Structure 1
Amino acid sequence: MGLFDSFKNDNATCPAPRPLVADASENFVGGFTFHQFNMILSGACTGITCVVILASMVMHSLRFSNPSEQLKIMRIATLLPLYSIFSIIPICFPNAYVYLVGWIEVFQGIALYTFLMLLCEVLAPHDRHRVDFFASLRIPKRSDKNATTDGLSWLQRTWYFVLQYPIVAVVVAIAQCITEAAGVYCLESSNRHFAHLWLNIGQVLSVSVAIMSIIRFYAHLKSHMQEHKPLTKFLAFKMVIGLVFLEKLIFLILHSTNALKESSTLSYADVYIGIPTMIICIQMVPFAFFFHYAYTTTPYRVSNSRARSGTSQGYSAVDEAEAARTYKVRQYQGGPLGLYAWLAFFNVFEFVREITSTYRMLREGRMRSADLVESEESYRMQYGM
């Protein structure tokens, strides 16, 4: 029995042509077919998005005064140009679409996880502060608003719910490539005999859990981040993911109802690949400018006068007394032309190290909380309280 026998069925035929060719019989506008028009428009939008985001990243690398936060901002920023680049390539080469679209989800999952870590960084810059801060919180339970759970356990669950998304996305992306090569994926069909249906279900469930976890995290803790303009940062990131997710559902409905179909000016590749990817390329342009505004480098600037006086321009820690005792004059740490910042940005092991250190922080925090509870119970039993 072959690996893909469960997907095969003699009565199930994939309607998608192989290979895909943008071969509309009539021009869409002037002397251009829709495919040619799409490549020009989407290519221009992709170029603008890349330039705007690169400029923002360069500014952060040159004003690299808070590496923990700014490195995360630079990682999140890459989502927009990657969206555009991984959309323009399938426009030019439609047969590459299935092999690339899954990896966009991987980048999105990494950006979503990094955004959660950025919010944690803003709330408490150091691991010990973070443990103390979340341990002091009481979060209402969704099942019973009168009952609460401790903030550290809640943070751990949120962390797992968000981290699972990039992991699932990698598995789905690999499965898409394998099943497409084996001829059992079928981009258009939602027939249960094709892998497209099952991989989509797994992907939708995974991203839904991650997004809802981030929204709940923000909703409960936004009052602790007011000075950092959390709503602007939240919208600049969440609107990108939310809108792309909504568009996928809309196009799924349009295709299933035949409201959007081939014509003399639109080929199969244009309908199923060209139009959705073109919309992504176009909308990334305003999102890039909004991101540049939301994640400005202004909070990270270090003026000479403030550096001499020892006054911080950065975000204050949750425990301000402790921060004052351990305060060091901030300075730019990006090195010549931001080289050190870029080396850290491209260091994959640095990202892995952040995941493992967060896991250790949560585990040690839970153990410390458990020891504290046990000590309190022993004290009550000893003194009959």
Structure 2
Amino acid sequence: MHYHIPSLRSQSGCIVPKLATSKVPFSDGFTFQRIILIVAAATTGATILITLFLTGLHIRYYTNPAEQKLIIRIIWIPAIFSIFGLACIASYTAAPYIEPFAKLCETIALASIFLLCVNYIIPDPLSAPTTTIGDLCVEIGCRGNPSSLRNKSQRSKSSALWLKRTWIAVFQYPVIVFATTIATEVTTALLCPTSLAYSRARLVLRIINALSTSAAITAIINYSLRLKQALAGRHVARKLACFKGLVILATLELVVFAAVDRVTLRDATPRLTYFDWIIGVPAVIICLEMVLFVLSFVWAFSPSPYRRGSLAGGFGRRTMRVVVDAVNLTDIAKGIGMAFGSRKGAHATTAGGAVLESSHVTTKTEDRTGSSGEL
């Protein structure tokens, strides 16, 4: 299969080197692209099967929808990454347009793991239509009078401002990646894929994504450490370790492979072409890694804490409900709105340092017994 980009015909200065497109088989007519396509298909199939198995267990014990819908979004990520990787290998032409959307899906999962950590302390925190950062701070336990502290860092950690900044650091991630995804699509459509300008643009956009990812992950880690006692028994550490490992590794690989684009153009051979290097190799590595990550998810996101009581309705009906809950992203949209909306409620502390009570808090008096026991 030759690499064709329709827009190249209108770009007189865009030259695709012969070693970028030539397809010399290794043996028996199998090119490098065909070989890694087979490998990627096998590993993607394995990842999907394990994901479906773990999802099925959560469907069987779907006793806490507020938490489990978030978990299901997270455990779907390895399969989504693998599917996008397989699609990139199958069509080098479409790969530059397909690849950015995997990162966009990742932002939903990362925001979901943060909401899961919040949910462990405040059951269904975004259920009320008028919830504010100040409301959540009351329940999480932000304490202290920031005006009585001289040290700026102490002020930010002792009030609702800390939670507000954490919220912004997490939910800026979907916004930034959405913007860079659009920029990537435009760059791919306008620039020659073998030009220096294209390589630089790819690198800059991926660095922006990496910085945004780092800010979000750091905020989630700080949140879990600050509220370590309240989160005890929820196995947050193992969940964060598995998911952060996936996100960090995928982000680093994107930056590294964007940085070596010009090197691989010089190192291309008739059997291992330029597009094999910059598209095929990273994609097949992702597919191989996702099998390992989804196996770790079986351990980190086990449904065992939710195995209690009997459930109404059949498995098919619960499956439909799980799918609807998981793809309903109104909680992510509300989280973004809270992050960048009014700061009203972020200073909900009295002069004496006690946190003001809110109507949202007084109405949330339901049983706090979590899936792993009482907090």
Match of 1:203 in 2: 209
String of CA shifts for 1:293-315, please: whole Å, max 9, x gaps: 211111111136xxxxxxxxxxx
Match of 1:36 in 2: 34
Task: Give the distance between the partners of 2:35 and 2:60, measured in 1 at CA.
Answer: 38
Task: Give the distance between the partners of 2:145 and 2:97, measured in 1 at CA.
Answer: 42
Task: Give the distance between the partners of 1:115 and 1:200, measured in 2 at CA.
Answer: 22
Going from structure 1 to structure 2, the CA distance change for 1:25 and 1:31 (only over 3 Å counts) comes to closer
Please tell me the residue identity of whatever aligns with 1:341.
Answer: V
Going from structure 1 to structure 2, the CA distance change for 1:341 and 1:25 (only over 3 Å counts) comes to closer
Match of 1:284 in 2: 290
| Alignment check: 8 A CA contact 2:23 2:270 kept | yes
Match of 1:298 in 2: 304
| Alignment check: 8 A CA contact 1:189 1:196 kept | no
After TM superposition, the structure 1 stretch with the greater mean CA deviation from structure 2, 127-136 or 240-249, is: 127-136
> Is 1:366 the counterpart of 2:346 in the alignment?
yes
Task: Give the distance between the partners of 2:269 and 2:237, measured in 1 at CA.
Answer: 43
> Is 1:225 the counterpart of 2:231 in the alignment?
yes
Going from structure 1 to structure 2, the CA distance change for 1:187 and 1:210 (only over 3 Å counts) comes to farther
Match of 1:341 in 2: 322
Shift of 1:201: 3.7
Give the match's secondary structure for 2:63.
coil
Task: Give the distance between the partners of 1:42 and 1:107, measured in 2 at CA.
Answer: 20
String of CA shifts for 1:225-257, please: whole Å, max 9, x gaps: 231111111112111001112223433454455
Match of 2:180 in 1: 172
State which structure, 1 or 2, has the greater radius of gyration over its C-alpha atoms. 1
RMSD of the TM alignment (CA)?
Answer: 3.6
Match of 2:10 in 1: none
TM-score (norm 1): 0.74
> Is 1:153 the counterpart of 2:161 in the alignment?
yes
Going from structure 1 to structure 2, the CA distance change for 1:231 and 1:197 (only over 3 Å counts) comes to closer
String of CA shifts for 1:184-216, please: whole Å, max 9, x gaps: 6x4673679x63344234323322222222232
Shift of 1:276: 0.5
| Alignment check: 8 A CA contact 2:169 2:216 kept | yes
Going from structure 1 to structure 2, the CA distance change for 1:124 and 1:45 (only over 3 Å counts) comes to same
| Alignment check: 8 A CA contact 1:90 1:273 kept | yes
Going from structure 1 to structure 2, the CA distance change for 1:292 and 1:15 (only over 3 Å counts) comes to farther
Match of 2:87 in 1: 89
After TM superposition, the structure 1 stretch with the greater mean CA deviation from structure 2, 239-248 or 334-343, is: 334-343
> Is 1:189 the counterpart of 2:173 in the alignment?
no
Match of 1:49 in 2: 47
String of CA shifts for 1:248-297, please: whole Å, max 9, x gaps: 34334544555983123201111111000000000100111111221111
| Alignment check: 8 A CA contact 1:64 1:70 kept | yes
Task: Give the distance between the partners of 1:334 and 1:150, measured in 2 at CA.
Answer: 47
Aligned length, in residue pairs: 331
TM-score (norm 2): 0.76
| Alignment check: 8 A CA contact 2:24 2:271 kept | yes
% identity of equivalent residues: 26
Task: Give the distance between the partners of 1:123 and 1:375, measured in 2 at CA.
Answer: 21
> Is 1:261 the counterpart of 2:270 in the alignment?
no
> Is 1:61 the counterpart of 2:59 in the alignment?
yes
| Alignment check: 8 A CA contact 1:187 1:196 kept | no
Task: Give the distance between the partners of 1:69 and 1:333, measured in 2 at CA.
Answer: 19
| Alignment check: 8 A CA contact 2:111 2:332 kept | no
Please tell me the residue identity of whatever aligns with 1:297.
Answer: P
Query: Structure 2 unaligned runs (5+)?
Result: 1-12, 126-130, 355-375
Going from structure 1 to structure 2, the CA distance change for 1:30 and 1:197 (only over 3 Å counts) comes to same
Match of 1:328 in 2: none
After TM superposition, the structure 1 stretch with the greater mean CA deviation from structure 2, 69-78 or 124-133, is: 124-133
| Alignment check: 8 A CA contact 1:61 1:341 kept | yes
